[in-house]
Structure 1
Amino acid sequence: MPSFSLALSMDTSAASRQDAAAPSEMSMDVAASSPIGETERFTNTMDPNQSVQPTREQCKKQELLAAVQEYFHYRNLLDCFAAYNAWSDCLAHKPVKGTASAALPMADWSAQFKTLSLRTEESLRRLLESDWLSHDIHAASDDRHSGRNSFGDPARNAELETLRNWVIPEIVFRLHTVLLESHSVIPSNLDKSIQLSDLVADEQFQLYREFMKTHQLPKLLYLFAQSSMALLKTSTSPFASS
Structure 2
Amino acid sequence: MTREAVVEGFEYFLEDAIDATMDEFSVSRALRSGARGPTGLAVDRLLSNAGALQRRVVEPELNAYRRQTLDQFEIVLDYIEDDAGVEAYRNEILSVGAVADSIRSDISPERRREVEDSLLARHRDLGEAVEPLVRSPASDFWTAAVTELERDEAETLVNEHFPFTAPLREHRDAFEMVAGFDATTVLGSVPRFLPDPSFEVEYTDEAIRAMYRAEQSVVNAAERDIEDRFD
Q: TM-score, normalised by structure 2?
A: 0.26
Query: Whose strand proportion is higher, 1 or 2?
Result: 2
Q: Which has the larger radius of gyration?
A: 1
Larger relative contact order (Cα-Cα within 8 Å, sequence gap ≥ 6): 2
Q: TM-score, normalised by structure 1?
A: 0.25
